[in-house]
Each structure stands twice: as structure tokens, then as C-alpha cells.
Amino acid sequence: MSTNIYFNHDAGIDDLVSLFLLLQMDDVKVTGVSVIPADGYLEPGISASQKIIDRFGSYDIEVAKSTSRGMNPFPKEWRMHTFYVDALPILNEKGEVQTKISQLPAHDHLIETLRHTAGKTTLLFTGPLTDLARALEKAPEIEEKIDKLVWMGGTFQEVGNVQEPEHDGTAEWNAFWDPEAVAKVWESRIKIEMVALESTNQVPLTPAIRQMWASLRRYEGVDFVGQCYAACPPLVHVETNSTYYLWDVLTTAFTGNSTLVKVKTVSSIVHTETPSQGRTEISQEGRPVDVVYDVTAEAFFTYITDLMKKAV
Ligand code: AGV
Ligand code: CA
């Protein structure tokens, strides 16, 4: 039995690597992909997704463009990474694109895909939750078609990764981009599995991991991932936010293989007001979420590297 997965990502490096990995998984059926321009840009995010599906997938699916725009935009320096992946020669060898773009905006595409997919679907979101919130707003009945949401976002620690004026630093970026959307999803009865910022502490992208992938670059899939991450090289002398963790990739791997991590259920609320916009906090008044708190790092890296080796 394969699991239906709908993937909404925000065009960052690890979002696009996640798409690539998802396409390699057995027991998974990807039913649709959509791109929201948060931690990346829309046009290259869509075209890189099309090319990744063309080159590394065996799916006849469409990719949908989000029309959502966030309250708190991501830094341009991070967003520029999308252009880099889209321009990689390995994705452009053919010089033509086959995978189609949906006529529907992402939130409608999500609604339609859920409706037309037999059985339930797992939602994988590795960026802000805006498109899901809009879909729930427009068609609340889709809740019945959702098995669960697996989301990379939020943090339960005091210090998140937002360092912006008029913010107290307690939030994670995907939640900060559109705090209202997180609140809307929190109001639903959807089962939520969350990879919070701290869930990825055991899987930083170290120079040793880069070296391991470099040594396996004879596999085109491993080379592709190494090339992608080269857009954010290790900056060992710059402290602020420069260590790349395998945020979205852990979230995606967890979707494909739940034995890699341990989860616990907590009760959580979300803040939508300044200066704590996007803060997710443990509180008895909150709703249940299953958060990843431990990762078997070695098994995780073996799992994803095997998926990369498999790609042809
Ligand atoms: O907060 C983590 C989210 C993930 O979905 N993103 C990156 C992942 O795609 C935002 C982010 C935090 N720090 C970053 C980020 C950095 N140094 N570069 C790019 N994006
Ligand atoms: Ca992301």
C-alpha cells in the first residue's frame, strides 16, 4: 500500500532537495506539488520543480503556483538560491520541460487534488502554511480527506531563527512569514506532525557529510544534492544563521520513514501579535501536535543517501 502525498514547498535549497528525494521513495504516491514564494522565488521555484520531476521522477503530475504572499518576507539573500538550483546543468541538459503547470492557484489545486484522490492524503509542507489555511477557509470539508499534516515549522524554544526589527526572536521563519495561517491550521482538527527548528539539531549539514556526498558523486543523484547544497557553503567563521540544518529534508524523510525519529505529543498555541508573531508555544490551552524530539542521525543520512543513489 502506498501513501498519497501532496507536497507544498517554498523553493529553498532543501525544499527542492526534498522534492527530489520524495520522488525516489517506494510506498509513496506523490499526488501533486505546489510552490509558494516564501524562502525562494516563484518562477524559478516552479521551473526547477518541473525539471526535477522531469529528470528524476516518473510521475505525470502538475505543479501549481501559489498566489499567496506573506506578511513578513524572507531575506532576499536566501531567496536567491532558487535561481541557482534552476540553472544547474543537470536539470537543463534536455533544454525543454515536460511537466505541466496547473491552471489553478496552489490552494485550489490542493482542494481539487484532495477531492480527486481516492482515500486520504498526507500533506507535506516545508514552508509557510498559507495555502493550506486558504484551502481550509474555502473548502472546510477537505479536512476529511487529509490523513495528517507533516510540517517543517515552528519552535518550542525561547530563541527561534527570526532576527528582525520589531520581533523578539521567539519564532521560526516559516511560522513568522504568515502567523495567521498557522493559527488557522491550529484551529482545525487535522492531525499535525511537526518538525520544529530544534527537531533538526541532530542533523546539521557538516563538512563531513558534504565530503561523504562528494566521494559518491559518481551517482548523479548524490552529485545533484551536493551541487544544490553548494549554493550555501559552510561559513565556519560567520555565526549568525549560517549553519544549514537538514530542516525540510528531515521532514520529508520522516514522511517516508517514521522509524528515523521519535515524537511526543505536546499542547501548543500560536502567537499572531507583535513582537512574538509566529511563536509556537507549549500551553495547556493549546491543541495537540506531535513534535519530533529525537533523530537517529546515522540511519537518517543512510536513508537519504540511499534514495540519492537510487535516482536515475
Ligand atoms: O526555518 C527553516 C526553513 C526551512 O523550511 N527555511 C529553510 C528551510 O527551507 C528558512 C531558513 C532559516 N535559515 C535559513 C533559511 C538560511 N540560513 N538560509 C535559507 N533559509
Ligand atoms: Ca522551506
Nearest-atom index, ligand 1, CA of 13: 9
How many angstroms from the chain centroid is the CA of residue 34?
A: 11
The pLDDT of residue 240: 53
Give the burial class of 296: count Cβ atoms within 10 A of its Cβ; 0-12 exposed, 13-18 middle, 19 or more buried.
Answer: middle
198 lines ligand 1 (CB under 6 A): no
- The pLDDT value given to residue 22: 98
| pTM recorded for the entire structure | 0.98
Q: How much is the pLDDT for 246?
A: 97
Q: How confident is the model at residue 1 (pLDDT cuts 50, 70, 90)?
A: confident
**Residues 76-114: tens digit of each pLDDT:** 999 999 999 999 999 999 999 999 999 999 999 999 999
Positive or negative CA dihedral for 111, 117, 120, 123?
negative
- Enumerate the β-bridge partners of residue 76: none
Distance in angstroms (rounded) separating the CA atoms of residues 54 and 97: 7
**Mean pLDDT, the chain, whole residue set:** 96
Closest ligand 1 atom to Cα of 10: 9
Ligand 1: residue of 173, 182, 241 to mutate (most ligand atoms within 8 A of CB) is 173
Our answer on whether the CB atom of 67 is closer than 6 Å to any ligand 1 atom is no
pLDDT of 234 reads 82
State how far the Cα of 60 lies from the Cα of 35, in Å rounded to an integer: 17
Does the structure's ipTM exceed the value 0.95? yes
- Residue 142's Cβ-count burial label (10 Å; 0-12, 13-18, 19+) is buried
Question: Rounded CA gap, 271 and 7, in Å?
Answer: 25
Residue 185 confidence (pLDDT) above 70: yes
In eight-state DSSP terms, residue 75 is: P
* Coil, helix or strand at residue 18: helix
Q: What is the pLDDT of residues 272-297, one digit of tens each?
A: 999 999 999 999 999 999 999 999 99
Contact 262, 296 (CB under 8 A): no
Q: pLDDT at residue 141 above 90?
A: yes
Cβ(244)–Cβ(236) under 8 Å? no
Please report which ligand is nearest the Cα atom of 246. 1
Nearest CA to ligand 1 atom 20: 78
pLDDT tens readout for residues 26-61 = 999 999 999 999 999 999 999 999 999 999 999 999
* CA 83 to centroid of chain Cα atoms: 17
Q: Which protein residue has the closest C-alpha to ligand 1 atom 10? A: 173
pLDDT at 189 over 70: yes
User: How does pLDDT run across 210-229, given as a tens digit for each residue?
Assistant: 999 999 999 999 999 999 99
pLDDT band at 238 (very low <50, low <70, confident <90, very high): low
